[in-house]
């Protein structure tokens, strides 16, 4: 099988830093126990499992405020997706030791929202409902940030008179987002636009658009909850015009997908461990004969870079 291994792909700087922070915290004997992460540190369950082996407990759920109420003592780590100021204050009021792994690119969107709202703006925030990143951004100026995921949300929007700013989530599809920004500008022509899709997301999407065109099939390795992973599947289908599937690991490759396929392009979301992606590439490269006759292997065990077993 010919494999196009799309680059750049996989871990971004925000994820690498968040994982390094979590591992430092886990290894420091002076950090109060228990150690909880408020949500998945990054959206990948294999990463979460490995952190658990280091003694870090992940509280899973969409609502950061509700998750925080489950922690009574010890340490809390905020994830790369960021949290609202209310969550930060509540954690301190509870006397918890706090570590913040918010990606600097997310922090930048928080600052834009807070500054504009303080200057009397209403904020149209283009983002994904139910994802933790918009929750943190909305919390920067409660009552003044309006989440828009699709055209219908914009149609239903009733803003008071005054200045408007348009701010985006960091991990959206560049193409969809531009369409939504244009629609917002038709309604609010004077609005200030802050397209905050991060560089890592843009580069990975652009790479799929440019490098997947020759492939018969595109496989995107990543977790179902990873927004940037799902957007890469969308880019492969809608921009590169190729059939594409998301897989957690090599074990999810369905042999039927490979029928008549000669070239597969492989990429990965920015929270996907490198070991999982490399295993997919190796498996496909070693396929010969009838690819539909070979069962994919079990996934490798993910170890974070430099991670020690906690026994
Ligand atoms: S995808 Fe972008 S915003 Fe999210 S952690 Fe990575 S660099 Fe930061």
CATH number of residue 170's parent domain: 3.40.1010.20
Residue nearest to atom 2 of ligand 1 (CA): 198
| Residue 121 counted as domain residue | yes
Instruction: Give the pLDDT confidence score for residue 73 in this predicted structure.
Output: 98
Structural domains in the chain (count)? 3
| pTM of the predicted protein model | 0.93
Residues 74, 117: one domain?
no
Residue nearest to atom 8 of ligand 1 (CA): 14
Q: Which helix (H) or strand (E) holds 78?
A: strand 75-78
Residues 89, 136: one domain?
no
First to last CA, the chain: 39
Residues 286, 211: one domain?
yes
Alpha-carbon distance of 57 to 98, in angstroms, equals: 14
> Measuring CA to CA, which residue among 264, 279, 238, 257 is closest to residue 10?
279
Residue 294 has pLDDT above 90, yes or no: no
Instruction: Give the pLDDT confidence score for residue 310 in this predicted structure.
Output: 32
Span 245-293, pLDDT tens digits: 999 999 999 989 999 999 999 999 999 999 999 999 999 999 877 777 7
Given 72, 103, 134, the domain boundary residue is: 103
Residue 102 has pLDDT above 80, yes or no: yes
| Residue 303 counted as domain residue | no
Alpha-carbon distance of 123 to 276, in angstroms, equals: 39
- Residue 256 is given by DSSP the state G
Span 25-69, pLDDT tens digits: 999 999 999 999 999 999 999 999 999 999 999 999 889 999 999
Model confidence band, residue 305 (pLDDT cutoffs 50, 70, 90): low
| Residue 311 counted as domain residue | no
Question: Ligand 1: which residues within 6 Å by Cβ?
Answer: 12-15, 80, 103, 105-106, 170-171, 198, 200-201, 228, 270
Q: Which atom of ligand 1 is nearest to the CA of 12?
A: 6
Alpha-carbon distance of 251 to 225, in angstroms, equals: 18
| Residue 301 counted as domain residue | no
Residues 141, 191: one domain?
yes
| Residue 175 counted as domain residue | yes
Over residues 158-186, mean pLDDT: 96
Q: Which of 20, 101, 103, 229 gets mutated to test ligand 1 (max ligand atoms within 8 A of its CB)?
A: 103
Residue 306 has pLDDT above 70, yes or no: no
Model confidence band, residue 309 (pLDDT cutoffs 50, 70, 90): very low
| Residue 263 counted as domain residue | yes
Residues 207, 185: one domain?
no
Residues 86, 170: one domain?
no
Residue 76 φ/ψ region, left for φ over 0, alpha for ψ in the -120 to 50 degree band, beta for the rest = beta
- CA of residue 12 to ligand 1 center, whole Å: 6
For residue 74, what is the domain's CATH number?
A: 3.40.50.11270
User: Which amino acids are annotated catalytic?
Assistant: 133
Residues 213, 145: one domain?
no
Query: What are 307's two structure tokens?
Result: 């991670």
Instruction: Give the pLDDT confidence score for residue 308 in this predicted structure.
Output: 39
Q: Which residue has the tokens 């969107």?
A: 109
| Domain carrying residue 243 | 2-11+200-293
Average pLDDT score, the chain: 94
| Residue 304 counted as domain residue | no
Residues 42, 77: one domain?
yes
Span 123-158, pLDDT tens digits: 999 999 999 999 999 999 999 999 999 999 999 999
Residue nearest to atom 7 of ligand 1 (CA): 14
199-211 and 174-187 helices cross at what angle (nearest 10)? Answer: 120
> Measuring CA to CA, which residue among 298, 271, 273 is closest to residue 283?
298
Q: Give the HSE-up count for residue 35: Cα atoms under 13 Å, Cβ half-sphere.
A: 24
Q: Which of 106, 108, 225 gets mutated to test ligand 1 (max ligand atoms within 8 A of its CB)?
A: 106
Pairing of strands 164-168, 145-148: unpaired
């Amino acid at each position: 099988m010919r494999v196009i291994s799309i680059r750049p792909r996989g871990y971004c700087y925000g994820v690498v830093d968040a994982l390094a922070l979590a591992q430092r915290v886990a290894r420091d004997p002076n950090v109060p126990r228990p150690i909880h992460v408020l949500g998945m540190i990054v959206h990948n369950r294999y990463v979460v499992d490995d952190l658990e082996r280091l003694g870090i407990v992940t509280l899973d759920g969409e609502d950061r405020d509700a998750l925080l109420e489950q922690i009574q003592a010890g340490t809390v780590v905020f994830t790369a997706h960021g949290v609202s100021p209310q969550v930060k204050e509540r954690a301190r009021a509870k006397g918890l030791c706090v570590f913040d792994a918010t990606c600097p690119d997310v922090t930048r969107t928080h600052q834009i929202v807070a500054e504009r709202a303080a200057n009397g703006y209403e904020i149209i925030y283009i983002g994904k409902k139910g994802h933790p990143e918009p929750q943190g951004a909305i919390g920067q100026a409660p009552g003044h940030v309006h989440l828009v995921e699709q055209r219908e949300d914009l149609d239903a929007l009733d803003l008071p008179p005054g200045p408007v700013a348009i701010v985006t989530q960091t991990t959206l599809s560049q193409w969809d987002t531009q369409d939504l920004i244009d629609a917002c500008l038709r309604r609010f022509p004077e609005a200030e636009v802050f397209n905050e899709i991060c560089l890592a997301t843009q580069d990975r999407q652009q790479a799929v658009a440019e490098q997947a065109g020759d492939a018969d099939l595109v496989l995107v390795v990543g977790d179902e909850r990873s927004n940037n992973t799902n957007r890469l599947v969308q880019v492969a289908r809608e921009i590169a015009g190729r059939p594409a599937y998301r897989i957690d690991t090599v074990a999810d490759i369905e042999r039927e997908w490979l029928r008549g396929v000669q070239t597969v392009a492989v990429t990965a979301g920015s929270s996907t461990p490198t070991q999982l992606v490399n295993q997919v590439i190796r498996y496909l490269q070693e396929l010969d004969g009838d690819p539909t006759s070979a069962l994919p292997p079990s996934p490798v065990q993910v170890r974070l870079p430099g991670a020690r077993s906690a026994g």
